[in-house]
Amino acid sequence: MSEYNPSLSVDCVIFGLDLNEQALKILVYERDIFHNEYPGNKNLKFPGSLVAEDKNLDDSAYQVLNELTGLKNVCLKQFHAFGNPDRIKNGEEKEWVERHYGVNIHRVVTVAYYALIRIDKLNPDQSMIKDKLRWINVDNANNLAFDHSHILEHAREALQMDMILQNVIAFELLPEKFTFMQLQSMYELILGTNLDKRNFRKKMSKADYIVPLGEKQNGVAHKPAMLYAFDRKKFEKSRETISTFFV
Q: Which residues bind a copy of itself (CB under 8 A)?
A: 5, 7-8, 51, 53-57, 78, 80-85, 106-107, 109, 111, 161, 164-166, 187, 191, 193, 195, 244-247
Residue 201 touches which of DNA, a copy of itself, none (Cβ within 5-8 Å per kind): DNA
Q: Which of 42, 55 has the CB closer to a copy of itself?
A: 55
Q: At what angle do helices 180-191 and 197-204 cross, to 10 degrees?
A: 110
Angle at the Cα of 66 from the Cα atoms of 144 and 57, rounded to 5 degrees: 75
Contact partners, residue 58, CB within 8 Å, separation at least 6: 76, 78, 113
Q: Which of 20, 194 has the CB closer to a copy of itself?
A: 194
Q: Which of 103, 220 has the CB closer to DNA?
A: 220
33-45 exposure pattern, b = at least 16 Cβ within 10 A, e = fewer: ebeeebeebbbbb
- We find the least distance from the C-beta atom of residue 200 to DNA, in angstroms, to be 9
Contact partners, residue 70, CB within 8 Å, separation at least 6: 122, 123, 126
Q: Which of 128, 204 has the CB closer to a copy of itself?
A: 204
Task: Name the DSSP letter for residue 123.
Answer: -
Report the site for DNA in 186-225 (rule: CB under 7 A).
Answer: 196-199, 201-203, 216, 218-225
Residues lying near DNA in the complex (CB under 7 A): 179-181, 196-199, 201-203, 216, 218-226, 244, 246-247
